[in-house]
Amino acid sequence: MAGQINAFEIAQQQFDKVADQLGLDEQVRQILRWPAREFHMHIPVRMDDGKIRIFEAFRVQHNDARGPNKGGLRFHPAETIDTVRALAMWMTWKCAVADIPLGGGKGGVVVDPATLSVGEKERLCRAYMRTMWRNLGPRQDVPAPDVGSTPQMMGWMMDEYSRITGQYTPGVITGKPVGGGGSLGRTEATGFGVIYTVREAMKHLGLDPASCTAAIQGFGNVAQYASIGFNEILGGKVVCVSCWDREDKVSYTFSKPDGINPTFLKSITDQYGTINKEKARNAGYEIEDGGAWISKPVDVLIPAALEGQVNSETVKLIHPKVKILAEGANGPTTPEADSALNERGIFVIPDFLCNSGGVTVSYFEGVQNDMNFYWPREEVFEKLNTNMTTAFGAVLDMSLSQNVSMRDAAYMVAIHKVVKAMELRGWI
């Protein structure tokens, strides 16, 4: 998915660096360097033309010392076992940093969902659940939406699991549609959570949010609500977003120096995060090369698309004005680029802290499912804000007290919690 960059190698490198700094025991290190369980599947599905197509799919369960495995399910043509391993490992750290009692997991199906009819998508989702159900469940492993998957797809999978087990089990999956076991606020959660961490970073750096600008990569679930949040929560201005264009097979940046209107752009964007070029151009947006977002003279950069986007080449394009890089995406920065950002003094909010709002509200969704009692939207956002602010504060304190980067500090906070849980359970 990230071209030449192997996401799992990056995840292991990041972990090894901090394991060295902590002097982590070799055996503990070996447990945490690899996923506990991996499922490789070949799932047959009948297509609309009557033929059977085989889909390659994965589920990886990295570590469940702190609670059931938790993590999204991607539908993407370039998914590999290594991207899923990396994402599962990052989920373990994310749940620990966010201080929610869950472990790390991730899944993937190798497909471009936009090439499937609605019926084919539903049959694929149900088939995935029929293949995996014995190893999923509210107390085992709980998937959620991610790149290329939607609340409706979660709804179908929850229904399939409930039919197989004979029991209505909404807690088997999160990110379900509201009214079908979903939580209010889940759609906005990751993007708004990104903005809560940006707000805390601005406080720490003494920046006035209302006079700050941002450039965002991507315009899917995370980027849409990060843009809306940057405007509405911080009062700042987003000058561009970008997306992958399926027809042209390239990415584009959609810019407006005096500020984009994210709500308007959202209204002309399809369910996979592709903005309609014609309508955007008619509304006065300049359409630039997909890489243009990273060189904008803004205060905040928010990569919110895929892995490996801030790398040894693109990092050189970052404008001197940039003060904060908020990682909305998982694994957007390579280790070489990370070192360059640190040398330049750019404040990085690492992915598994920055985008932990999604899994936090997924956890709230599971709690509401267990209680069969649903909270109002304001209560969800209030709890999310409190959790994210606390998580950011803990990582910042670690970074200042240990004189390490925010990424290394986030790893330290997370590894301490996971190792503690393994000790308490007698695993080590």
> What are the residues binding ligand NAD (CB under 6 A)?
145-148, 190, 217-223, 242-244, 251, 272-274, 290, 304-306, 328-330, 355, 358
End-to-end CA, the chain: 35
Count the neighbouring beta carbons within 10 Å of the beta carbon of residue 53.
Answer: 14
Structure tokens at 357: 């709002």
Q: How far is CA 389 from the centre of its chain?
A: 18
**Burial environment of residue 229 by CB neighbours within 10 A (0 to 12, 13 to 18, 19 or more):** buried
Decide whether 311 or 404 has the Cβ nearer to ligand NAD. 311
Report, in Å, the least distance between residue 426 CB and ligand NAD: 32
The distance of closest approach from Cβ of residue 223 to ligand NAD in the complex, given in angstroms and rounded to an integer, is 6
Q: Which CB, 145 or 207, lies closer to ligand NAD?
A: 145
Distance of closest approach, residue 58 Cβ to ligand NAD, in angstroms:
14
**Least distance to ligand NAD from the beta carbon of 151, Å?**
11
Q: Which is nearer to ligand NAD, 103 or 290 (CB)?
A: 290
Q: Length of the chain, please?
A: 428
Q: Tokens 């609309």: give the residue.
A: 48
Residue 207 DSSP SS3: coil
Q: Which residue in 106, 121, 256, 296 is the catalytic one?
A: 106
Q: Report the residue number, 7 or 127, with the smaller CB distance to ligand NAD.
A: 7
- Tell how far CA 47 is from the center of its chain: 30
**Three-state SS letters, 95-143:** HHHCCCCCCEEEEEECCCHHHCCHHHHHHHHHHHHHHHHHHCECCCEEE
Min dist. Cβ of residue 357 to ligand NAD (A): 8
In angstroms, what is the minimal distance from the CB of 348 to ligand NAD? Answer: 16
Task: List 144's β-bridge partners, or say none.
Answer: 72
Determine which helix (DSSP H) or strand (DSSP E) holds 60, and give its type and residue range.
strand 52-63
| Distance set, CA 312 to CA 321, 332, 344 (Å) | 19, 12, 13
- Whole-angstrom distance, CA of residue 182 vs CA of residue 176: 4
Nearer to ligand NAD, 109 or 243 (CB): 243
Answer for the pair 146, 74: CB distance below 8 angstroms, yes or no: yes
DSSP β-ladder status, 52-63 and 104-109? antiparallel
In the complex with ligand NAD, the residue whose CB is nearer, 169 or 330, is 330
Which secondary structure element, helix H or strand E, spans residue 199, and what is its range?
Answer: helix 186-205
Distance CA 334, CA 305 (A): 14
Distance CA 139, CA 199 (A): 34
To the nearest whole angstrom, how small is the minimum distance from the Cβ of residue 111 to ligand NAD? 13
- Cα atoms in the 13 Å half-sphere on the side-chain side of 131: 21
- For the question of residue 106 being annotated catalytic, the response is yes
Least Cβ distance, residue 311 to ligand NAD (angstroms): 12
Task: Pick between residue 176 and residue 404 the one whose CB is nearest to ligand NAD.
Answer: 176
Query: CB-wise, 120 or 146, nearer to ligand NAD?
Result: 146
**Residue 342 burial by Cβ neighbours in a 10 Å radius (0-12, 13-18, 19+):** middle
Q: Annotated catalytic sites, by residue?
A: 106
